[in-house]
């Protein structure tokens, strides 16, 4: 096979990053599935149970910065392998935790070390491999968070129902160990001349010398102190803060709220799965759209998680109305749903 006809190595990197996103974000987004079991078994209030995840998200923001530093200094292989090991250790210790402080240390801190840097590390890797289809590549990697919801949440729900939340965390920790660290072995930080001849994306590196020099040599146009003085930096910071606050708060309480309405845990997990489908569609669609219309990507990408959560809320409400109607008609008893 001629070099120009083979698959560009950048797409292999994208697939590996997508794979890492599936399991890292699947674990992060599945906390709501464990919420009721943790609350009941440990005798906690809803506020205290939520606090574990709130502190986890706070530490994620801190370890994201550390993860970026590790990748810059030691490369993506070391960063991803360490993240996978921390994730495994965290979930194993979490499965043995029976009080607040052990769970805080194992989940809020150690799991944040394992999964917090995922988005930054994978996106930074994917960005360095593309010029012409950079936004599409990032969109494919980002869709891994939605795919993770579709994979991990139903699996966790099944394991909790059959064996309990401790066993579920133990098994998911094993899955993380055998997926995330091995994936890191396939990653390289930047393309080189030997791998830029795969397709037109590779040819873009070859023909656009200024872009290639910018991507491979990575000139430091901004230092961190310089970046924090720009308006764009703080606008992006505000955008991510608002997005993360709204999305994660609602997602954490989505399954518990559905169960409070009388919906079974398995059916409630399907609502989360539908949210994952919406995330995948939204990110791929917006990624494709923004490649063609560069100035219009911000609005639909900002609305995508909000619209996804609204669809999930409508699903819960419609299912509750249907169950109530059947109960009133005498076709089912209230306890059957």
Reference 23, options 173, 248, 163, 245; nearest CA is: 173
DSSP secondary structure code for residue 109 in this structure: I
**Residue 133 pLDDT:** 82
Number of separate domains in the chain: 1
The answer to whether 316 and 160 have CB atoms below 8 angstroms apart is no
Per-10-residue mean pLDDT for the chain, 337 residues long?
65 92 94 93 91 93 91 90 95 92 94 94 88 84 91 93 94 94 82 50 48 48 76 86 84 88 86 85 74 51 48 49 44 41
φ, ψ of residue 133 to 5 degrees: the values are: -120, 40
pLDDT of residue 224: 74
Is 325 within a domain? no
Residue 328's CB is within 10 A of a number of other CB atoms, namely 10
Residues 241, 318: Cα–Cα separation, whole Å:
31
The 10 Å CB-count burial string (b at 16+, else e) for 110-149 is bbbbbbbbbbbbbbbbbebbbbbbbbbbbbbbbbbbbbbb
Residue 203 CA, distance from chain mean position: 31
Q: What range defines the domain where residue 126 resides? A: 3-320
Q: Quick one: which of 109, 94, 114, 97 has its CA closest to 156?
A: 94
Rounded distance, CA 92 to CA 235, Å?
A: 38
**Nearest C-alpha neighbor of 253 from the set 51, 4, 22:** 51
Position 121 scores a pLDDT of: 92
CA–centroid distance for 324 within its chain: 35
Residue 139 falls within a domain, yes or no? yes
Would you say residue 75 lies in a domain?
Answer: yes
Longest dimension (CA), the chain: 73
* Cβ burial, residue 192 (10 Å; 0-12/13-18/19+): exposed
Let me know if residue 92 belongs to a domain.
yes
DSSP letter assigned to residue 221: S
The contacts found for 306-312 with CB under 8 angstroms, 24 or more apart, are 306/246, 307/278, 307/282, 308/275, 308/278, 308/279, 308/282, 309/246, 309/247, 309/250, 309/251, 309/254, 309/275, 311/274, 311/275, 311/278, 312/254, 312/271, 312/272, 312/274, 312/275
Q: In the prediction, which pLDDT does 220 show?
A: 52
Q: What angle do CA 304, 307, 309 make, to 5 degrees?
A: 110
Structural domain includes residue 33 = yes
User: Is 36 inside any structural domain?
Assistant: yes
Pick the closest to residue 263 from 28, 36, 27 (CA basis): 36
Residue 283: predicted pLDDT:
80
Query: What confidence score (pLDDT) does residue 164 get?
Result: 94
Best CA proximity match to 30, nearest among 138, 133, 172: 172
Query: CB of 27 within 8 A of CB of 176?
Result: yes
Tell me if 337 is assigned to some domain.
no
In this structure, the number of other CB atoms found within 10 A of the CB of residue 11 comes to 18
Tokens 């360095």 label which residue? Answer: 128
Cα 298 from Cα 236, distance rounded (Å)? 11
Residue 73 lies in a domain: yes
For 216, the enclosing helix (H) or strand (E) is helix 209-217
Domain holding 51: CATH number? 1.20.1250.20
Rounded CA-CA distance 276/42 in Å is 29
pLDDT for the residue numbered 307: 47
């Amino acid at each position: 096979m001629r070099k120009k006809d083979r698959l560009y190595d950048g797409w292999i990197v994208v697939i590996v990053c997508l794979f890492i996103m599936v399991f890292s974000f699947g674990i992060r987004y599945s906390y709501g599935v464990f919420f009721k079991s943790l609350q009941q078994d440990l005798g906690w209030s809803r506020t205290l149970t939520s606090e574990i995840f709130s502190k986890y998200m706070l530490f994620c923001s801190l370890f994201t910065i550390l993860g970026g530093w590790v990748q810059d200094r030691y490369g993506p292989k070391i960063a991803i392998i360490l993240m996978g090991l921390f994730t495994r250790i965290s979930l194993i210790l979490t499965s043995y935790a029976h009080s607040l402080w052990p769970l805080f240390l194992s989940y809020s801190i150690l799991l944040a070390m394992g999964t917090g840097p995922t988005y930054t590390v994978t996106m930074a890797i994917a960005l360095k491999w593309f010029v012409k289809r950079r936004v599409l590549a990032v969109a494919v990697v980002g869709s891994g968070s939605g795919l993770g919801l579709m994979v991990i949440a139903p699996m966790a729900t099944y394991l909790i129902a059959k064996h309990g939340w401790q066993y579920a965390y133990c098994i998911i920790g094993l899955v993380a160990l055998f997926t995330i660290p091995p994936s890191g072995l396939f990653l390289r930080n930047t393309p080189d001349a030997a791998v830029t001849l795969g397709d037109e994306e590779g040819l873009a590196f070859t023909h656009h010398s200024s872009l290639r020099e910018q991507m491979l040599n990575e000139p430091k146009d901004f230092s961190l102190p310089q970046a924090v003085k720009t308006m764009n930096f703080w606008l992006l910071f505000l955008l991510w803060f608002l997005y993360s606050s709204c999305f994660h708060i609602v997602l954490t309480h989505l399954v518990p709220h559905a169960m409070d309405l009388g919906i079974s845990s398995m059916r409630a997990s399907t609502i989360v799965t539908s949210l994952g489908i919406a995330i995948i569609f939204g990110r791929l669609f917006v990624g494709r759209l923004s490649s063609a219309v560069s100035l219009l990507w911000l609005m639909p990408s900002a609305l995508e998680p909000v619209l996804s959560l609204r669809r999930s809320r409508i699903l819960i409400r419609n299912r509750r109305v249907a169950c109530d109607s059947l109960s009133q008609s005498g076709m089912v008893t209230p306890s059957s749903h």
